[in-house]
Amino acid sequence: MIEWATTMLEILAIVSALAGMIFILMMIYAVVKKVAPKQRNKSNKKEEVRRTDTMSKEAKEGVTFNDIFMFMIAVPLVLLWVGFAGFVIHSGLGNAAVLENIEAYTTLIAILGGPALLIIKDALDVWKQEQAEKTAFYKIKAQSVIDYNNTVLKQAQEIESKAQDQEHKMESKK
């Protein structure tokens, strides 16, 4: 059983090393991508830059460090934690040897679980914040629709009132 755990840890180390290399390459790519357009703009000063072009570039959301962190470290860590915990439970139900070494497995699950739970908590906090922002947006939108409808009704009433006043004036002149 110890050989199996050692093999799993070696595989985990190799996967982590590959993920780290991919992470570094993505960071280098992001830096090169940001630097390259600036150099092109300096060499071609004759070209006119339209305001809408810069606005659309600013409106686009690029890949941030947090995005890379979540997909390269946080997501695999949480999946590894859940997968390993499920594997230990599944193996423990049918294999007595797993139950004999349960302390080692629970220690590993706890080591992986600490950061995984923090990541899950932060992800849920971000989700709650987004939901609160959506709720606030829809409240504002609903209030603006109500205000617009009230304004339209008041305007229609004023137009009708002035039309009636005009009609009364015309009748009184006859």
CA atoms of 127 and 92, how far apart (whole Å): 35
- For residues 148 and 126, the model is more confident at 148
Residues 6+ apart with CB under 8 A from 104: 5
In a domain? residue 40 = no
In a domain? residue 23 = yes
In a domain? residue 25 = yes
In a domain? residue 30 = yes
The model's pTM: 0.45
Average pLDDT, the chain: 78
In a domain? residue 47 = no
Per-residue exposure over 15-25, b if at least 16 CB sit within 10 Å of its own CB, e if not = eeeeeeeebee
Q: What is the pLDDT of residue 140?
A: 94
Whether 172 shows a pLDDT value over 80: the answer reads yes
Residues 6+ apart with CB under 8 A from 91: 98
Whether 168 shows a pLDDT value over 70: the answer reads yes
- For residues 47 and 136, the model is more confident at 136
Q: What is the pLDDT of residue 41?
A: 55
How many domains would you assign to the chain? 1
CA atoms of 152 and 9, how far apart (whole Å): 69
In a domain? residue 54 = no
Q: What is the pLDDT of residue 136?
A: 92
- Segment 61-71 shows an average pLDDT of 67
Whether 148 shows a pLDDT value over 70: the answer reads yes
In a domain? residue 52 = no
Range of 20's domain?
2-34+62-173
CA atoms of 158 and 50, how far apart (whole Å): 45
